[in-house]
């Protein structure tokens, strides 16, 4: 499955909600959160996801009321 890194505003999402999202099972589109990095002071979150397409990542976030500012397909060393 391809990996994607995205960035978006955290909005009103709490750190606890991010931890819960990290541990959610694969959704109906096959998306899983591999890691979520964030900086509350900057109101910024970065998600590393396993997903079939960039469009699936964008739709996944839209369902949660978030709009990705960018989405990149990436490779990891691990």
pLDDT at site 78: 81
Would you say residue 69 has pLDDT above 90?
yes
> What is the per-residue pLDDT across 35-64, written as a single tens digit (0 to 9) for each?
999 999 999 999 999 999 999 999 999 988
Q: Does residue 26 sit in helix, strand or coil?
A: coil
Q: Which residues contact 1 (CB under 8 A, 6 or more apart)?
A: 30, 50, 51, 52
> 3-74: CATH homologous superfamily?
ORF SCO4226, nickel-binding ferredoxin-like monomer (3.30.70.3090)
Instruction: Provide the residue ranges of all domains of the chain, joining segments of one domain with +.
Output: 3-74
pLDDT at site 48: 97
Q: What average pLDDT score do residues 8-29 get? A: 90
């Amino acid at each position: 499955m391809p990996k994607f890194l995205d960035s978006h505003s955290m909005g009103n999402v709490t750190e606890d909600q991010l931890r819960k999202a990290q541990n959610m099972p694969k959704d109906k589109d096959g998306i899983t959160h591999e890691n979520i990095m964030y900086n509350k002071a900057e109101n910024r979150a970065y998600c590393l996801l396993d997903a079939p397409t960039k469009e699936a990542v964008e739709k996944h976030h839209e369902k949660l009321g978030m709009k990705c500012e960018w989405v990149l397909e990436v490779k990891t060393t691990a």
